[in-house]
Amino acid sequence: MKLSRIAAVLFMLALAACNTVAGVGEDITGASRMVQGGLGGGGY
């Protein structure tokens, strides 16, 4: 019982870490597109 609880907590932490990394990647992408648009580049 205790092992499955630890496994569930580790799974939740891994999932949260993946979401955090994806969120940071989206923030960087958005900022770079904004800068590109400000410089006259053909942004998306």
Residue-level pLDDT at 42: 54
pLDDT of residue 44: 54
pTM: 0.45
1-44 pLDDT, tens per residue?
Answer: 688 999 899 888 887 877 777 777 777 888 888 777 777 655 45
Helices (H), the chain: 2-38
Alpha-carbon dihedral 23, 25, 29, 30, rounded to 10 degrees = 20
